[in-house]
Amino acid sequence: MLNRISTYFYQRPKLVLAIFLTPPLLYMVVVYLGSLFSLLINSFFAIDDFTGMVIREFTLKTYLQIFTPANREIFMRTATMAFLVTIVDALIAFPLAYYIAKFASPKLKTWLLIAVTIPLWSSYLVRVYAWKLILAKEGILSWFINLFHLTGALDWLLSLPGIGGSSLSLSPIGMFIVFVYIWLPYMIIPIQTALERVPGSLLEASSDLGAKPSQTFRTVILPLAFPGVVAGSIFTFSLTLGDFIVPLTLGNSKFFIGQAVYSYQGTGGNIPLAAAMTMGPVVIMVVYLLIARRLGAFDAL
């Protein structure tokens, strides 16, 4: 009996494919794409200014609201932060990724990779919380800064308009540090993967042909690591763009996109505006992903 069923399916690979593919596709299309579609629809609704109820009619009114100076500023602020975090993460990630890929012994490599991926998967909230402790005014970092008599420098930094605040744990500088910290593993792994694929013979060829180590690094290793950097930047950029936990925890009244969306849909009760606001990161990320795919970043994931 089982054999006959088996033969039946064996002769109909298309049917088997359909059976395999239908549940995951159905789930992702209905639940995920369906929700994204509903998000899109909602962004074309608006709320009634008097009753606060959502009017389910097509309008571009809500989209106009995201171009108010206040909201434009939110977009700029968030994109700048995401950009800076991505750059710094790439710089910090590179040495470790390079070391793991090209210098570590196989055994050490296994352990180093585990050491990098544990923070990647472990609780993001807890990792943010750790910095709340570290950056607190009375906390460990201040203690060290005091130890080195740098309190004056810190106060000066915190007094800067735009990036300062009452303490590191309540300032854009603090947010920046935390963003760099929490997304760092997402940058290390793709760069390491890309470097791993650079064949050793290529490096030998480069030095045989007379290139100095620094030249080999610049003209062979860096270009080949670039798809990895792009792949990593997908995560660091996208995650910073949509995060609201870090701004809510360490930020001030100057909103970031995620925070704005969170408060519009929550206390504001304005789901259409929240939806329209979210379309910004969606458009940015879809374009980003398409470019990244061209640059070969998906192979480095």
Partner 1 sequence: MPSSSSSTRPRATWGLTLAALGTLLFLHVPMWIIFLYTLTPDETTYTFPLPGFTTKWFGVALQRADLWRALTLSFQVASIATVAALILGTLAAAAVYRSNFFGRESISFLLVLPIALPGIVTGIALRTAIGGLDIPFSFWTIVIGHATFCVVVVYNNVLARFRRTSATMIEASMDLGANSFQTFRYVVLPNIATALLAGGMLAFALSFDEVIVTTFTAGQQTTLPIWIFSQLSRPRDRPVTNVVATIVILITFLPIFFAQKISADASDTEGETK
Residues 201-240 that bind partner 1 (CB under 8 A): 234-235, 238-239
85 near partner 1, judged by CB under 8 A: no
Q: Which element (helix H / strand E) includes 55?
A: strand 54-55
- DSSP code, position 47: E
Rule CB under 8 A: choose which of 86, 206, 233, 278 binds partner 1. Answer: 278
Rule CB under 8 A: choose which of 47, 85, 90, 93 binds partner 1. Answer: 93
Q: Which stretch binds partner 1 (CB under 8 A): 31-39, 58-66, 68-76, 151-159?
A: 31-39
Rule CB under 8 A: choose which of 90, 168, 170, 184 binds partner 1. Answer: 184
Asked whether 278 and 295 are in contact (CB, 8 A), the reply is no
Q: Which is nearer to partner 1, 4 or 161 (CB)?
A: 4
Question: What is the DSSP track for 235-291?
Answer: HHHHHHHH--HHHHHH--SS--HHHHHHHHHTTS--HHHHHHHHHHHHHHHHHHHHH
Q: Which element (helix H / strand E) includes 46?
A: strand 46-47
The amino acid occupying position 102 is K
Q: Which is nearer to partner 1, 227 or 243 (CB)?
A: 243
Q: Which stretch binds partner 1 (CB under 8 A): 65-73, 153-161, 218-226, 279-287?
A: 279-287
243 near partner 1, judged by CB under 8 A: yes
What is the SS3 string spanning 192-213? Answer: HHHHHCCCHHHHHHHHHCCCCH
Q: Two tokens at 201?
A: 């013979």
Residue 274 CB, nearest distance to partner 1 (Å)? 6
Residue 50 CB, nearest distance to partner 1 (Å)? 21
Q: Two tokens at 269?
A: 């009760």
185 near partner 1, judged by CB under 8 A: yes
Residue 15 CB, nearest distance to partner 1 (Å)? 11
Residue 227 CB, nearest distance to partner 1 (Å)? 14
Question: What is the DSSP track for 85-103?
Answer: HHHHHHHHHHHHHHHHHHT
Number of residues lying near partner 1 (CB under 8 A): 106
Residue 281 CB, nearest distance to partner 1 (Å)? 5
- Sequence-ordered list of residues with C-beta below 8 angstroms from that of 131, at least 6 positions apart, any chain: 169, 174, 177, 178, 181, 250
166 near partner 1, judged by CB under 8 A: no
39 near partner 1, judged by CB under 8 A: yes
Give the C-alpha distances (Å, rounded to integers) separating 264 from 46, 267, 273.
Answer: 12, 6, 7
106 near partner 1, judged by CB under 8 A: yes
13 near partner 1, judged by CB under 8 A: yes
